[in-house]
Amino acid sequence: MYKEQVDMNRVPQHVAIIMDGNGRWAQARGMERTMGHQAGAETVHDIMAAAVKLGIKYLTLYTFSTENWNRPEAEVSALMALLLKHLEEELFMKQNVRFRIIGEKERLPKNVREACEQLEERTKNNSASCMVLALSYSSKWEITNAVKNIADKVKKGELNPEDINEKTIDEHLATSFMPDPELLIRTGGEQRLSNYLLWQSAYSEFYFTDEYWPDFNEESLCKAIVDYQGRQRRFGKTGEQVETK
């Protein structure tokens, strides 16, 4: 059992997940793709609860990318309806979890956007963990938006170009309220970032699994963390430098 192997003193503070494989999970069972998304939504609840137990402070889930707007209209509508259904305040309050979203909120249907904003407000004082949905999100959009905001401050004389550094960019990203992810997990067998947290994952440890998202559970999460804990994070240094630190 990987759960028993987790070193609770070295659990990553921020875990980001690309939840892939809902549609393929459903098709493999002769179901409609939407049934896979339904099963995937249930998995979100289970992983949120597992994250709280493990002491993970930030759990960021790639829920709907900017590119996903190009999917069939019926599937997009079903995904938005499913999202509304599962924004259950009671679950977040029971787990003492704060809810946040990052992405192009303006593109979301009005009822979805308002429901998200209300849940953000109602859970703002919860402190056990923070679940962040990357919703209508793309990293290229995020970085472009940050550059525009920085350029606007330079234009207004509020910022000197010489003073722009990595911290400046960090502060203008949608994720400015949380640390970069130490561990980034992708389910479903694919091995790419798909325009997700490109800046923030510069030194993240990647973990890829063939498990489809609906099959991913607490034991799967613990397995990923045990794998992460077995790695040496060097940040450009040699192994000897890290060991003698």
> Which residues, including other chains, have CB under 8 Å from residue 107's CB and lie 6 or more apart?
66, 69, 136
Residue tagged active-site, from 46, 68, 195, 227: 68
The reply to whether the predicted model has a pTM over 0.95 is no
Q: Is residue 120 part of a domain?
A: yes
Q: Is residue 6 part of a domain?
A: no
What confidence category does residue 75 fall into, taking pLDDT thresholds of 50, 70 and 90? confident
> Which carries the bigger pLDDT value, residue 54 or residue 233?
54
pLDDT at 88: 87
Give per-residue pLDDT as tens, 76-122.
998 999 998 888 889 899 999 999 999 999 999 999 999 999 999 99
pLDDT over threshold 50, residue 235: no
- Provide the β-strand partners of residue 132: 60, 100
**Domain, as residue range, for 207:** 17-231
Q: Is residue 237 part of a domain?
A: no
CATH of the domain at 49: 3.40.1180.10
Out of 37-41, 88-92, 230-234, 235-239, least confident range: 235-239
Contact 12, 56 (CB under 8 A): yes
> Which carries the bigger pLDDT value, residue 213 or residue 245?
213
Average pLDDT of the chain is 94
| Nearest residue to 139 via CA among 99, 180, 110, 100 | 180
> Which residues, including other chains, have CB under 8 Å from residue 197's CB and lie 6 or more apart?
16, 60, 134, 139, 175, 180, 181, 184, 204
Domain count, the chain: 1
The whole-number average pLDDT for the span 205-209 is 98
Rounded to the nearest 10 degrees, how much is the dihedral formed by the CA atoms of 160, 166, 172, 173? 160
The whole-number average pLDDT for the span 140-162 is 97
Q: Is residue 3 part of a domain?
A: no
pLDDT at 239: 55
What gap in Å lies between CA 137 and CA 134, rounded to an integer? 5
Residues making up the chain, counted from first to last: 245
Active site residue 9: no
Q: Is residue 208 part of a domain?
A: yes
pLDDT at 195: 97
The number of C-alpha atoms within 13 Å of 70 and in the hemisphere containing its C-beta is: 3
Q: Is residue 104 part of a domain?
A: yes
Q: How much of the chain exceeds pLDDT 90, in percent?
A: 87
Q: Is residue 80 part of a domain?
A: yes
What gap in Å lies between CA 203 and CA 112, rounded to an integer? 33
Residue with tokens 């690309």: 18
pLDDT at 232: 82
At 240, the amino acid letter reads E
The whole-number average pLDDT for the span 23-43 is 94
Q: Is residue 9 part of a domain?
A: no
pLDDT over threshold 90, residue 237: no
Give per-residue pLDDT as tens, 125-143.
999 999 999 999 999 999 9
Active site residue 149: no
The whole-number average pLDDT for the span 190-199 is 97
